[in-house]
Structure 1
Amino acid sequence: MTSRWVPLESSPDILNAWSKKAGLAGRSRFEDVYGLSDDLLGMVSQPVKAVILLFPISPESEARRKQEDEEILAKGQPGLDPTILWIKQTISNACGTMGLIHAIANSSVTLSPGSALSKFIEQCEGKTPEERAKLLETTPLFADIHAQAASSGQSAVPTDLDTNLHFTCFVAAPSSRGDDRADSSMRLVELDGRRTGPIDRGESTDLLKDAAKVVQDVYMGGSPSLSFSLIALCEP
């Protein structure tokens, strides 16, 4: 990690403020997901374009991450859409901004022409994940937007920047496999800058429900922590 930012709070107000300053336009907005039951998921505005999860890092989650990454490196993920924009995280505590960029850049949402996001996404085309990370490091506007959002939360800005909380993101992307799947087949893809690349979480027919199941089974299953937060990018 080359530098360290102040962590973002997991709050729709914070994520919406960041997004509007960065260039998210139209009616798109972030909303809280209050629970994983069908009734609570049904309260979220539709359609859902992306889901952002804040979760606690633990020895168990780190062991799972290492095992999954080793399997992905060994077996590959041939069904993933090659046009997915994924960035390697090289800035400590930047996972909030990383999650926001991953969510917005890989969703069919409207961006303001000439905005920080539209320019950044355009500049990322054709670059490696590491080159995109370097581009993020050298784009002061994102550091400024992140700092403004981090300082506008309800909690005091911490003096100790070490944190065991991390953001990841889920989007839906078309399958790239040339098999017998229908052309409309979609995959649930997890985007986390700490990983080896995008993670195929299986077929997706309902982004919010599919992401909630992964959160329940992979992240929350067996965890005693209550430090989870789920926020959806919606375009009502």
Structure 2
Amino acid sequence: MAGEQSQADQYGTAAADVPKGKKRFIPLENNPEVMSTLLHKLGLSPALQFHDVFSIDDADLLAFVPRPAYALLLVFPVSQTYEKFRYEEDLHKSDYEGSGEGEKVVWYKQTIGNACGLIGLLHGVSNGPARDHVQGDSELDKLIKKAVTLKPVARAELLENTQALETAHQEAANLGDTTAPSTTDEVDLHYVCFVKDRADGHLWEMDGRRKGPLNRGSLGAEDDVLSEAALKLGVRAFLKREEEAGGGELRFSLIVLAEGFD
């Protein structure tokens, strides 16, 4: 069923398009506690946490998710359908070269192997209201402020060379419920982050494997990234493509960044 997620999908990464010989991380487990711990260590306020979204079709289950939702992470196995769509959509696009405070969103190019989970997390906290919850002068605050001034290639190098980021990631990767893979393992799952910009209220698909951020359309002032309007522009559009291609069982997971229950 399109709206039900597989809870077996634990790790998200994609080897494609990451330069050979570059730095590689241990894949992060797709676990809200792991994700929250990593970002809290870097400097995100403990007031925000990640939460599982067990269904996007069951209103009763959705009601358990705190709102507003600041960022939505979609985790899915990379399929031929997705790769074909990605190639065709990016074919005539230029590489994104944005930087500075005038950017609608802050986008990170992925050059670290097995780091698509980390890139997704950074997209979630570098954009929208979540950015206001980054504690001043923390490692995360300094990283984002520096990244904003840089163009994507230099941003990617900043991530590669930030020791605090690598240390926090390594510690978080060993916190999961299952034995963590090694840095050399190839795992076919990938993370994509959806955020709402504060300039125009548009939904953006943020994926470090793409040529840049993808504007998926306008949202109402009352719509967050888990609203039906946002799901239609983002997650449901992805699911529809996969289902129409007849790829068999559709496996995916969702976690959302929102206020904690405490």
- Pick the aligned partner of 1:165 from 177, 180, 189: 189
* Structure 1 SS opposite 2:226: helix
Letter in 2 for 1:3: K
| Contact preservation (8 Å) 2:26, 2:114 | yes
**Percent of residue pairs identical:** 37
Corresponding residue for 2:164? 141
Long gaps (5+) in structure 2: 1-18, 96-101
Corresponding residue for 2:43? 23
* Structure 1 SS opposite 2:208: coil
| Contact preservation (8 Å) 1:8, 1:149 | yes
Q: CA deviation at 1:35?
A: 0.8
Corresponding residue for 2:109? 88
Corresponding residue for 1:208? 226
Q: CA deviation at 1:38?
A: 5.2
Corresponding residue for 2:8? none
Q: CA deviation at 1:114?
A: 1.8
Question: Aligned residue pairs: how many?
Answer: 221
* Structure 1 SS opposite 2:192: strand
Tell me, in whole angstroms, the C-alpha distance in 2 between the residues paired with 1:33 and 1:16: 15
Tell me, in whole angstroms, the C-alpha distance in 1 between the residues paired with 2:254 and 2:219: 18
Q: Give the structure-2-normalised TM-score.
A: 0.78
Query: Runs of 4+ in structure 1 displaced over 3 angstroms?
Result: 71-74
Tell me, in whole angstroms, the C-alpha distance in 1 between the residues paired with 2:62 and 2:84: 30
Tell me, in whole angstroms, the C-alpha distance in 2 between the residues paired with 1:227 and 1:142: 29
Letter in 1 for 2:108: I
Corresponding residue for 2:155? 132
| Contact preservation (8 Å) 1:51, 1:211 | no
Instruction: Map Cα deviations across residues 177-220 of structure 1 (whole Å, 9 max, x no partner).
Output: xxxxxxxx511101110000000111123221244332122146
* Structure 2 SS opposite 1:91: coil
After alignment, is 13-22 or 29-38 more displaced?
Answer: 29-38
Letter in 1 for 2:192: T
Letter in 2 for 1:189: W
Tell me, in whole angstroms, the C-alpha distance in 1 between the residues paired with 2:46 and 2:175: 23
- Pick the aligned partner of 2:146 from 118, 123, 130: 123
* Structure 2 SS opposite 1:188: strand
Tell me, in whole angstroms, the C-alpha distance in 1 between the residues paired with 2:239 and 2:83: 11
| Contact preservation (8 Å) 1:41, 1:208 | no
Instruction: Map Cα deviations across residues 147-183 of structure 1 (whole Å, 9 max, x no partner).
Output: 11111111112245101101110000145xxxxxxxx
What is the RMSD of the two structures over their aligned residues, measured on CA atoms? Answer: 1.9
